[in-house]
A = this chain, B = another copy of it.
């Protein structure tokens, strides 16, 4: 009865059904969903171009044996610290696990060590990257057509995408020199409410925000929390880059300053652990009242959504991240000392290089992040995807046109440079190429 040669794909193709795009979910018709695909395609077409586009961590210290070592470290922890039998250790890695994760306790310890955040492990849900954490929160918060989210413009495309998938409109808030413009936030909030919107939260990345790279001051963090309290607003704090900082002092996260559970904290180990584990998390200690189960943690509601989305974050991936945490005293800051030095050095190098090459060019400026992966260059000519394709083809250099982070409504004279994956030599060569493009496009004096 069974014959592996039975199917004949060439015949099947002849009169196969097709679906019309308009019968699919509206998110698929939105240009934001295609930004990354399009940019990856251009990058893939020019593999030898020097890329200031990839927002990936530095890979110079990668070694596959680390993965084995981290797994062994985590298993030793299960046996030694938690007293598990060999069968229980195997079960923890092989089987389905708790929906909220098997490393929630280690995550909470790392938050205390690295961020001064005292999080109850019960309020932590370990997710498939920070991206799943965003979707869980936005899905939970979207109850009806009036609901909306505030977010800075420009913003991380993953936030835009998750909101599209959750059918939750995003209302833009202006970004100032040091991040979210709080006056504009107040104005937008009032405006939205006057229009009948229910604003469920404001998304914000206080540290080295993607794409602009700047950070909110301590004073603005306190002001933002006061504003949230006064206006009864929830804040979604995304902290993917905060630890990649070699400065001796940095302001505490919003969550560390939060006294009233105003902040849902979105964490990521993509930049500090490894992207290939896809481990992130959300801290949601807010109470949810009036439901079937009485008063429960928002984390438990998010966990229910997760159980129907991915069931668990892969225990194997959690084990690798857990092992990396254990190997460094639960401090991802400690685990990333070398990488943070690389990022700082690269950031300085790119800024110095821009000054030397383009410092004299009228209308060419760049901002001054003190850490993270990104900085933004403003130029007096149009930066679109055609220019990117031209730059890749003609000059062998890649960057990200900023309009992608504005839903194409602005940013048409800006480009984002990512400094995270490059070496000094490649930066020098890349900036030569970028400068050639810029000078070629500058208006003649």
Contact = CB atoms under 8 A, between A and B. Distances in A.
Interface of A: 1-9, 11-13, 15-29, 31, 33-34, 36-37, 56-57, 59, 62-64, 67-68, 71, 75, 86-87, 89-97, 112-113, 115-118, 120, 128-129, 131-132, 135, 139-143, 158, 161-162, 164-165, 167, 198, 200, 218, 232, 234, 249-252, 256-262, 270, 274-279, 285-293, 295, 298, 301, 304-305, 307-317, 320
Contacts of A15: 260
A128 B7 contact: no
Contacts of A286: 16-19
A251 B18 CA distance: 27
A231 to B, nearest CB: 12
Contact of A28 (B158, B304, B317): B304
A2 B113 CA distance: 11
Contact of A9 (B25, B27, B120, B287): B120
Nearest to A37: B304
A94 B252 contact: no
A234 B16 CA distance: 11
B95 A67 contact: no
A162 B30 CA distance: 22
Given A7-B116, A309-B309, A315 B276 contact: yes
Given A4-B113, A64-B89, A97 B276 contact: yes
Contacts of A24: 140-141, 143, 288, 291, 301
Interface centre among A5, A56, A67, A252 (most CB of B within 10 A): A67
Given A24-B301, A68-B71, A94-B276, 16 more contacts: A1-B249, A2-B116, A2-B252, A4-B112, A6-B252, A7-B118, A12-B260, A17-B260, A19-B286, A19-B287, A56-B95, A59-B95, A64-B86, A96-B270, A132-B309, A278-B313
Given A19-B287, A90-B62, A93-B67, A314 B276 contact: yes
Counting every copy of the chain, the complex holds 2
A433 to B, nearest CB: 23
25 contacts: A2-B249, A2-B250, A4-B115, A6-B252, A6-B256, A6-B257, A7-B117, A16-B261, A16-B285, A17-B262, A18-B286, A19-B234, A19-B289, A24-B301, A25-B141, A62-B87, A95-B276, A128-B128, A128-B310, A135-B309, A162-B309, A276-B316, A277-B314, A278-B314, A314-B316
A93 B131 CA distance: 19
B116 A90 contact: no
A63 to B, nearest CB: 6
A310 B301 CA distance: 19
